[in-house]
Structure formats: C-alpha cells, structure tokens
Amino acid sequence: MGLETNRKLSGIGASEGVAVGSVFVHAPGELEPERGGISAGEVEGEIQHFKEAVASVVKSLGETSQRLADAGNDNEAGIFEAHAELAEDPELHSSVEERVRNLESPESAVISVGEEFAAMFAGMDDEYMAARADDVRDVASQIAAEIMGHEASALATLDTPSVILARSLAPSDTARIPKGIALAFVTAEGSATSHVSIMARSMGVPAVVGAGPGLETAFAAETVAVDGGEGYIITDPSPETVVEFEDKQRRMEEERTALDEYRHTEARTTDGQRIEVSANLGSAEEAEDALAWGAEGVGLFRTEFLFMERPELPSEEEQYEVYRRVAEAFGGKPVIIRTLDVGGDKNLPSVDQPEEENPFLGWRGIRMCLDTPELFKPQLRAILRSAAHGNVKMMFPMIVDAGEVRGAREIFDECRKELDEEGVETGPVEVGIMVETPAAVLGAAEIAKEVSFFSIGTNDLVQYTLAADRGNERLHRLQGADHPAVLKLIGMTCLAAREAGIWVGVCGEAAADPALIPKLVRLGVTELSMSAPSIPRAKKVLSEI
C-alpha cells in the first residue's frame, strides 16, 4: 500500500472509460539489483540460479510468441522469438558467469552485462542494430527480475489485468501488451493526440496522459482508480472511492448499451444530409471489431504499424496480404489506405533515419517516401494489387503542395504500368491527400485538381497551425481543433473542395468529438473517421443535427 490513500492526480483525459485495478509500472531499464556481491561458497548455486532464471524467461517469451502467432500477429511474435534468442546468447552467458565467479551477484551481473551489450549495440552505425540496445536491456532486466523473484518488467509477459503506469509509452509498447490485459494507461507525458492516446481509444482502454512528473509518486501504489474521460487518477482508493468508480463504470456501460441501437444505422442529419462514419485502423486484425462497432468503411488505415518493430521492411507480398485482408473484410465499403507516415514520434529500425532536432518538422511521411522509392514503390504496388479485392482508396500524408502530389502520383502511375506489364491484377484506386499542414490548406485549390478527396488530419493540422507539439503535456490549451484558426482552415479546405467538386473527410481525433461534429458538418465535411468504439456516439450526434 502506498504512503497515502485516496490521493488524486490530474492529467489529460485521453480515452474515455473508468477502471480500478492493480498497478503495473512500466519503467524499462530501471531495475536495481538487490545484492551486489556473493560469497565464494555461493558461486555454483548462483550460476545455477541464473540458468534457471534464463530458462524461465525463455519459456515465457516462447509462450507469448506462440500466443501472438496464434492470433495472427506474426510481426509481434517475431519480436518475442528474437528476445528469447537474446536471452540464450552464449556470449551473454559466459560474461555473466565470469562476473559471478568473481563474486558478483547474478542479478547485478546480468544487468551490467546487459548494459555493456546495449552500449555496444547503441554505438553501431547500423540503425537496426542500434535499436537492439533496448531489446537487450529489456531481456537482461527480465532475467534479473526473475532471479530476484520480481514480476517481470516486460509489458509483453504481463498476464494479470492491470493499470499500466509509465513515464511514456511508445506505440510499440502498447502494441506488445497482450489483449485484454491493460485495464487503463496512465502516463506522465503525452497529449490527447499523441499516439498512445490514439491507440488507447482504438483498443477501447481508458487512458490518462500528461499527468506530469508527479506521476512517479504513484508508482509505489498498489491499486489505482482511473477516469479516462475526466482525466484523473486516484491512488490506493478507499473502499468508498472504489464503489463510486464501480457506479460510474456501470453508468457508462448503460450509456454504451443505449448507443448500441446506433451502431448499424446510416448516419443522416435531420435535414437528410448523409455523413459517412468510418473507422481508423492500425492493423488488419482490427477490421472485424470495427465492423461490429458500425464502421461504414475505413477512413484511415495507418500502415506504419506494419513497418514498426521489425528489422526489415515488410515485403510487397506481405503488405498486399494485409491490405487485401482489410479490403475483403469491408466488402464494397471504402478502405482508405494511407501511405507510410513515419518520422515524428514513429521511427523504423529498418530505415536509416537521421537524428533530427525537430522530428515533427523533419523527414516525415511523404517527404521520406518521395526520397526513397525502394520504400515507397512496394507499398504502392501492394495497394494497387489489393484494389482488385475491394473498394480501395489511397492517400498521401504530410502534403504541403501540388508538386508533391504530382511527384507521388508519377511514382504511383509507374507502379501501375509495371504491374500491367507483368500481367499482375490490379484495381482502380482513387487518390486523395491528408490535409494536415497549413500549406496544404492554402494550396487546396491547386491540390484539389490532382486528387479525388481530402481527409483532414486535425491532430497534425492543430500542431502545425498553433505551433504546439501534439505530445507536449504543457500545451493542452493549444491542442484542440476547436481553435478559431483551425476551424477557419477547415472551412477553407471545404470551400476549395466544393469548388473543385471533391469531398472532404476528417480523420483526426476531432472527428469523434461530439461538440465538434456539428461544426465540422456545417463547414462541409461529409465523412468522419475515428477509433471504432466512438462510432455509435458519433452517429447519434449526427442524427440530432
């Protein structure tokens, strides 16, 4: 039990819902050895102890890998397989044994050796190898935790439903947590549009982010109550607080059930205007769930998650399989695949990305793709091929002018020509862009001549318009799409689109905001795409406009 019960800590409500559960602190690499040294008589026993700990960690990594593979998550399964191999690395073993023979405790030895290996990896020029530093640290701390009888710190092996507390959570961290295990996320850093928040919303897991450095005082708590809508947590809640949260949970459950009737309705305003409500997806596995929530299509398929956490780029074939799976799951409903948008806070071990002072203003999205045809072309080919199996559309992220669109389309046309020559089946693909930079809005009339639709990415549009980092918890005031400057840009986009005769959607987080939906529709938006659990409520709001 923490020092004080029922202590309240506020942050940003990033994903609705309440939860009460035991605390799991994700603090990678911060494990401290319990003992420094051992006596000479303990050496053999401690070496044995180390070997048993390794065997147990390898077993559990193998089980996780198998579970993920069974669920069709081959990428993630591969990560755990690689971790198991690292745990069994003979060099790691001999270095630990040597230290134990010199009377160092095995937990201290494995942490030190892990650090040495990590430093070696981190110093390598090869981007992929450098990214392995965290993996080796992760594996070493799992072995050390096992030796000390602690719960393993790795999120991936977590098997009791828990509230996850962390300074920050990378998209890859959240992706590794077994399904159904995270009751809620609470982070010190981040904002409502940072990627942990987006992922929490699509997983339907409550989240509070941006709780500030004070969150570390909550790390010692045993249980925590989380309100992801209001944006606060209560550490070691009293029995009365627990009851209060349970009541809230019940009420929200009832509200959710009441919204069920809207799931499969066609959203129409009271004056008959039809608005399409679609889902944002990050993987093919989410397709079935999204359909069950009532998605009328996919307004944004974030393909970058397919590229993350793996040493090599996914092949054209692998991408084709994924895109085809989504296209087929949605039948004739539109599926908008966004071409790779990495950079910013999403990095790829397989791409040689430079260190940048301002990654969000850096080599990101379409900029990287235009410069790297070997990265871009397999994706475009895979999209074209998947279009033979459904209603596939495609959009480019981070566009700033019509020249970029023409450049990307040129490569796209080249891909189609190549596939035709190879006799490979393709389908028609409408092309659009994400409007997420002020420059794209200012150039919308010219860009509209090149494309069939606009999809406004309010998350980035807000950050670039208000010059406010979307992940900085101190800038909460400047992270809303309801800022007049942003609404004005949305209006300008709609106007340019109407004049050119193309449609406009919104796929940023603003699309799910009940207070903003009426404004977006009035400005001329005809498609809203959001995390799937938000769909029924959005349809209800639309039906009342």
Contact pattern for Mg ion over residues 417 through 446, marking x by CB under 5 A? -------------------x----------
Contact pattern for ligand PEP over residues 323 through 342, marking x by CB under 6 A? ------------------x-
Helix (H) or strand (E) holding 338: strand 334-338
Q: What's the min distance (Å) between Cβ of 392 and Mg ion?
A: 20
Residue 171 is a binding residue for ligand PEP (CB under 6 A):
no
Stretch that binds ligand PEP, among 97-105, 387-395, 452-460, 493-501 (CB under 6 A): 452-460
Residue 299 is a binding residue for ligand PEP (CB under 6 A):
no
Residue 302 is a binding residue for ligand PEP (CB under 6 A):
yes
User: Distance between CA atoms of 115 and 124, rounded to whole angstroms?
Assistant: 14
Q: What's the min distance (Å) between Cβ of 204 and ligand PEP?
A: 18
Q: What's the min distance (Å) between Cβ of 507 and ligand PEP?
A: 5
User: Distance between CA atoms of 73 and 10, rounded to whole angstroms?
Assistant: 35
Task: Name the residue nearer to ligand PEP (CB basis): 329 or 461.
Answer: 461
Which of Mg ion, ligand PEP, none sits in contact with 302, Cβ below 5 to 8 A by type? ligand PEP
Stretch that binds ligand PEP, among 7-15, 82-90, 155-163, 455-463 (CB under 6 A): 455-463
Decide: 539 and 529 in contact? Cβ < 8 Å. no
Task: Name the residue nearer to ligand PEP (CB basis): 235 or 459.
Answer: 459
Q: Which of 13, 297, 334, 457 binds ligand PEP (CB under 6 A)?
A: 457
Which of ligand PEP, Mg ion, none sits in contact with 231, Cβ below 5 to 8 A by type? none
Stretch that binds ligand PEP, among 22-30, 35-43, 166-174, 453-461 (CB under 6 A): 453-461
Decide: 393 and 429 in contact? Cβ < 8 Å. yes
Stretch that binds ligand PEP, among 229-237, 375-383, 416-424, 451-459 (CB under 6 A): 451-459
- Exposed, middle or buried, 507 (CB in 10 Å: 0-12/13-18/19+)? buried
Q: Which of 104, 189, 450, 460 binds Mg ion (CB under 5 A)?
A: 460
Residue 459 is a binding residue for ligand PEP (CB under 6 A):
yes
Phi and psi, residue 357, nearest 5°: -70, -40
* Position of minimal CB gap to Mg ion: 460
User: Distance between CA atoms of 235 and 241, rounded to whole angstroms?
Assistant: 10
Task: Name the residue nearer to ligand PEP (CB basis): 176 or 195.
Answer: 195
Tell me whether residue 507 is one of the annotated catalytic residues. Answer: yes
Cα–Cα separations (whole angstroms), residue 28 to 45, 154, 258, 263, 293: 28, 8, 41, 40, 35
User: Distance between CA atoms of 135 and 158, rounded to whole angstroms?
Assistant: 17
Q: What's the min distance (Å) between Cβ of 436 and ligand PEP?
A: 5
Helix (H) or strand (E) holding 95: helix 90-101
Q: Which member of 195, 389, 415, 494 is catalytic?
A: 195
Residue 286 is a binding residue for ligand PEP (CB under 6 A):
no
Residue 469 is a binding residue for ligand PEP (CB under 6 A):
no
Question: In 10 A of CB 356, how many CB atoms?
Answer: 13
DSSP per-residue letters across 148-184: TTPPP--GGG--S-EEEEES---HHHHHHSPTTTEEE
Task: Name the residue nearer to Mg ion (CB basis): 193 or 235.
Answer: 193
Residue 507 is a binding residue for ligand PEP (CB under 6 A):
yes
Residue 46 is a binding residue for ligand PEP (CB under 6 A):
no
Task: Name the residue nearer to Mg ion (CB basis): 187 or 455.
Answer: 455
Tell me whether residue 195 is one of the annotated catalytic residues. Answer: yes
What strands lie across the sheet with 232-235, from one edge to the other? 7-10, 232-235, 223-227, 18-26, 162-166, 182-187, 207-209, 12-15
User: Distance between CA atoms of 76 and 83, rounded to whole angstroms?
Assistant: 11
Q: By three-state DSSP, how is residue 436 classified?
A: coil
User: Distance between CA atoms of 291 and 289, rounded to whole angstroms?
Assistant: 5
Give the side-chain half-sphere CA count within 13 A for 208.
26
Q: What's the min distance (Å) between Cβ of 152 and ligand PEP?
A: 31
Q: What does the block give as tokens for 350?
A: 């397989």
Q: Which member of 369, 415, 494, 507 is catalytic?
A: 507
Q: What does the block give as tokens for 302?
A: 């974030």
User: Distance between CA atoms of 374 and 313, rounded to whole angstroms?
Assistant: 10
Burial 480-496 (b: 16+ CB within 10 A, else e): bbebeebbebbbbbbeb
Residues that contact Mg ion, how many (by CB under 5 A): 3
Helix (H) or strand (E) holding 432: strand 430-435
Which of ligand PEP, Mg ion, none sits in contact with 507, Cβ below 5 to 8 A by type? ligand PEP
Residue 436 is a binding residue for ligand PEP (CB under 6 A):
yes
Which candidate, 153, 207, 203, 152, places its Cα nearest to that of 175? Answer: 203
Length of the chain: 545
Q: Which of 146, 460, 513, 527 binds ligand PEP (CB under 6 A)?
A: 460
Stretch that binds ligand PEP, among 44-52, 239-247, 327-335, 457-465 (CB under 6 A): 457-465
Decide: 505 and 529 in contact? Cβ < 8 Å. yes
Residue 527 is a binding residue for ligand PEP (CB under 6 A):
no
Residue 171 is a binding residue for Mg ion (CB under 5 A):
no
Give me the residues that bind ligand PEP (CB under 6 A), please: 300, 302, 341, 436, 457-460, 507-508
Give me the residues that bind Mg ion (CB under 5 A), please: 436, 457, 460
Which residues are annotated as catalytic? Answer: 195, 507
